[in-house]
Amino acid sequence: MRYIPETDENFSSIGITISKKAGIPVVRNRIKRTTREWFRLNKVYFLKPLKLVFRFKNKIEIGDIKKIPVQLTDKFKELNLLLRIK
């Protein structure tokens, strides 16, 4: 994940890139949908507007996709970019 901390805009945006090594198209699309949904639900909790680029390069199993939202929330809290949510 990369983010650009300084932005002149008042809103957050997201970009997602996934390597073909991450899995078959069904898996890659599910990863994108899951990441976009996490962003949509949590962007109101960002402490400031962010420009985010998520880059998935390694193979991801279908069962691991369910862990993506939890991992993203934990990582953003660790980086102090997300308000404390339940």
76: which residues sit within 8 A by CB, 6+ positions away? Answer: 42, 46, 82
So what's the pLDDT on residue 38?
94
Mean of pLDDT values over 43-57: 87
Give the start-to-end residue ranges of the domains of the chain.
Answer: 2-78
Q: Is the pTM of this model over 0.85?
A: no
CATH 3.30.230.10 is right for the domain spanning 2-78: yes
Tokens of 73: 């929330």
With a cut of 90, say whether residue 81 has pLDDT above it.
no
Give the pLDDT mean for 47-74.
Answer: 88
Q: Can you tell me which residue has the tokens 């939890």?
A: 70
Mean pLDDT computed over every residue of the chain? 86
